[in-house]
Amino acid sequence: MLKNLLKNPTENISIQIFRYGIGGGAAFTVDVTCLYILTEYFAVNYLISAAIGFALGTCVSYVSDAFWVFNAHTLRSRKMEMIIFVLLAFVGMGLNELSIWLVTEYAGAHYMVSKMAATIVVYCWNFFSRKYILFTPKPIIKIGVNPDLLKQENTA
């Protein structure tokens, strides 16, 4: 059972969500630690700190997602996969920034509380967009990529 949860490749969405929680937890730790340290110790604006932390956490997340959480890949080209991953991450970053800003500025919450609220929104976006656009053998969304790119051998 433990081997199925942690090691064996799987298309079981429950196991993928479990693994995504672990990988996402590592990415979140990098993200929120950076947000806090930059804001509190280096007096960087909380929205700039949030963007930097999010970018660093996204790097951790890509490694986890591409090599452990999801075993199917929509694209054979790692380069194209990374480009689309980054584009999806920019949407996630926009949701993150907007959520943090709205909750901090309009609800009067501390930026770290706002980050927790933003995390829920972004977690859902990241999991489902990555699963169904990048890491599935049959994508439900056509991404407008030249079909020849889908057939390229992995160049990474």
CA–CA distance, 54 with 59 (Å, rounded to integer): 9
Q: Specify the pTM.
A: 0.80
Among candidate residues 18, 144, 154, the one with its CA nearest the CA of residue 73: 154
Q: Give per-residue pLDDT as tens, 33-44.
A: 999 999 999 999
51-88 per-position pLDDT tens digit? 999 999 999 999 999 889 988 888 878 899 889 999 99
pLDDT at 153: 46
Instruction: Answer yes or no: are the C-beta atoms of 12 and 119 closer than 8 Å.
Output: no
For 132-155, write each residue's pLDDT tens digit: 888 887 655 555 555 555 555 444
